[in-house]
Structure 1
Amino acid sequence: MIALTGWSMHVPGLGSDTDLLGWVPPTSCSPANARELLGRKGLLGKEPATLLALCAVHRALGLPPGSGPRGRDQSLDTGTAVVVSSNCGNLATVCAVTRAAYGGRLRDVSPLDAPNLSSNVIAGSVAIRFGFAGPNLTVCSGETSGSDALAIAARLIRTGRCRRTVVVGVEPRDDITDALLKPTRQLFGGAASVVLEAANGGISMGPVTACRSPQIGAADAVLAAPDAPVRGGVLVIDEHLGATYGARGVVLGAVAGQAVDAGRADSVQVIDGGAAYGYRSFTVRAGAGR
C-alpha cells in the first residue's frame, strides 16, 4: 500500500462533470492560463509540460492562487525530494532545436530554450520554484513510468534520503507527440501530483510488483490501464485518464488517494502499464502511513 498525503490533477479538456470514484476534479489549468494559478513571476521560457507540472504541484501543496515562486529570503527544504515521470516532456523543444541546428540556423534558437533541452528540466523547475533541495530526478520508463516514479519516491523515504517526496506525472500534447504516438496510442496531455511523506515511523509501501498478468486483490475498486487484463474486481477508468501515458500512474494514484481520503473507498488498487512494457500495481488503503 502507499500513502498519499496530497494530490492534484490537471487534465485540460477533461469535462467539468467528470466523476472519478465520486470525485469531480476542479477546473484544470492549461499551459496558456497557468499564470492565473501560479502568478506571473518565474514562468518565462517554461515549456507546456513544465507549466502543467508546476500547476499540479501548486495545488497538491495547497498553496493559494498567485502566490508565486519561493522568495529569496526563504530557506531551502532539504528534506523534500522531487520525482517526475514524463516520457515526452521536452520532446518538442529538442526537436525544434535539432531542426534549427541541422538547418544551420542556430541563431534562431532562443537562449531560453537551453535549459529546456535537459531531460530533467521539469523536476529541476519544480525544485527551484518551491525550494526543494532533496534528491531530484526524472523517470522515463514508458507506460509504467508513473507507478515507477511512485515506487522510487517511496524508496527514497524508506532509505532515509528524504522525509517527503513530491511526485509529478506529466505529458504534453502537441504536434510532435501526436506524430510519435498516434500510430499506436492516443495521447491526452495532462499532469498530476501526489505527495508522499514519512509518518508513523515510516512509509508503508507494497505490494508494488512488475508483472505481465496483474492479480486483482480484495480492493473496493480497481483503477487500471485500458488494456490491463482485469479479472474480478471493478474496472473504473476514464478514457482520457487512460491516455495520459507516462503520467497515468500518478494520475490514477491521485484519483485513488482522493477517493480513499474522502471515505468513498477503503482501498483502491491501481494497475499501470501495458502489454508492451508489462504492468505495475499498488494499492491505496485508508489509514496507511497517516
Structure 2
Amino acid sequence: MSETRKADEPLAVAAWAVHVPGLTAADLPGSPDEPACTPDDAKDVLGRKGLLGKEPSTRLALCAVHRALGLPPGKLAEPLPYAPGTAVVVASNLGNVETVCTVLDDMRERGGTAVSPLDAPNASSNVIASSLAIKYGFNGPNLAVCSGATAGLDAVRLARLLILGGRAERAVVVGVEPADPIASALSGLRTGESGALVGGAGVVLLGRPGAWPWETGITCGPVVRSTERPEAAAPALADAAGGEFYGAAGVVRLAAAAATLNAAADPAAAPSYTVGCGDADDGYLTVSVGRAAERAADRTPVGAGSAS
C-alpha cells in the first residue's frame, strides 16, 4: 500500500454512472443514452446468472457499477485486473427494508422455518456492498453506510479515508435507494422533506491518479460539513422527477456533476461544482468536484454513464 496522504488531497474521479429506471442522459447527466432498465430487466445489463433472489436496490447498484466500469452486457468474461485492493462503500438507508419487514412478518406468523433461504442474506444491511464485491472480485474493505440524508457523501468521505490512509488503492462508491411501498412510506415520514422517494443508483470510482487504468482529469476534494442547506450546483443536477434520492443523493449528484463537467466543450465554462446532500435533521455535507484545464490525453471511454 502507498504511504498515507494529506487529508485535503484531491482524488481522481475515474468514472461514474447514474441508473434511474426510465431516465436517460437527457434527463439526468450520467444516465445511459437509452432509458435505464428497471430492476426486473437487470438481466439486459448483467446477464441472468446470479440475479435470483437479488433485491431491486442490489440490482440497481449492480447495473450502475457495471456501466461505470465500461463492461459489455452480460457476465464477466474474465477477472478484473484492478479488482485487488479495491474497496466498496455503499450508501443506502432503505435498500433492504422491504425484506427485513417481510422476514419479520413471516417469523412472527409462521416461525423461523418460514423464512426463504433466498431472503435471509438480504436481511443484512451490507448485502448490497457484499454482492458488488463478490460479483466483481473487489477484495478491499467493504462498508455499508446508513446515516440518513448525508449517507451518500458520508460514503465518499469514508472512501477517501480508506484510500488516503493506505487501506485501499481505489474505491467503488455507490448510493442507491429503492422505491418500494415500504421504503417510500418510511421516507415520507421524514420531517420537513417533500417529494416522493426515487428509486435509483449512482456510482463514482475514486482513487489517486493512476490507480484506475484510465483518467478523466476530474477530481473531488474533501467532504465538508455545512450548517446550511447547500444550493443546487446546477438545474441539470437536480433530483429526478420532482422526487429525491434520500441516502443516495450525494453519490447521484456527484456522478451527475462529473458527467456534466466531462461533457463540457470548454473546461473554463464549467470549472467546478459544489455538490451537497443532507437535511435539517441529519445536517449537510458538501464536496467540490472540478475538471482540469486540459483533458487527459489517454482518456478511455468508460461505460454509457460516462460521457466521452
* Cα distance in 1 for residues equivalent to 2:276 and 2:81: 38
SS at match of 1:112: coil
* Cα distance in 2 for residues equivalent to 1:105 and 1:128: 30
Q: CA shift at 1:211, angstroms?
A: 1.9
Aligned to 1:228: none
- Structure 1 gaps, min length 5: 224-233
Aligned to 1:227: none
Aligned to 1:277: 282
What TM-score, normalized by structure 2, do the two folds share?
Answer: 0.79
Count the aligned residue pairs.
271
The one-letter amino acid of 1:43's match is: L
- Structure 2 gaps, min length 5: 1-9, 212-217, 297-308
Q: Is the 8 A contact 2:28 2:240 kept in 1?
A: no
2:68 equivalent to 1:60: yes
Q: Is the 8 A contact 1:75 1:131 kept in 2?
A: no
Q: CA shift at 1:237, angstroms?
A: 1.5
The structure 1 residue matched to 2:178, chosen from 168, 172, 183, is 172
Greater shift, 124-133 or 104-113, is seen at: 104-113
Q: Deviations over 1:219-265 (max 9, x none)?
A: xx815xxxxxxxxxx79524448601110000000011111122262
Q: Is the 8 A contact 1:81 1:165 kept in 2?
A: yes
What TM-score, normalized by structure 1, do the two folds share?
Answer: 0.84
SS at match of 2:183: helix
Identity of aligned residues (%): 49
Q: CA shift at 1:181, angstroms?
A: 1.9
Check 1:58–1:108 CA distance in 2 against 1; reply closer, same or farther (3 A cut).
Answer: same
The one-letter amino acid of 2:285's match is: R
The structure 2 residue matched to 1:195, chosen from 194, 198, 205, is 205
Q: CA shift at 1:159, angstroms?
A: 0.9
The one-letter amino acid of 1:109's match is: V
RMSD over aligned Cα atoms: 2.8
* Cα distance in 2 for residues equivalent to 1:196 and 1:246: 19
Q: Is the 8 A contact 2:275 2:288 kept in 1?
A: yes
The structure 2 residue matched to 1:222, chosen from 233, 258, 264, is 233
The one-letter amino acid of 2:15's match is: G
Aligned to 1:157: 163
Q: Is the 8 A contact 2:99 2:122 kept in 1?
A: yes
Aligned to 1:253: 254
Aligned to 1:226: none
Q: CA shift at 1:107, angstroms?
A: 3.4
Check 1:214–1:109 CA distance in 2 against 1; reply closer, same or farther (3 A cut).
Answer: closer
SS at match of 2:250: helix
2:102 equivalent to 1:96: yes
2:154 equivalent to 1:148: yes
SS at match of 1:6: strand
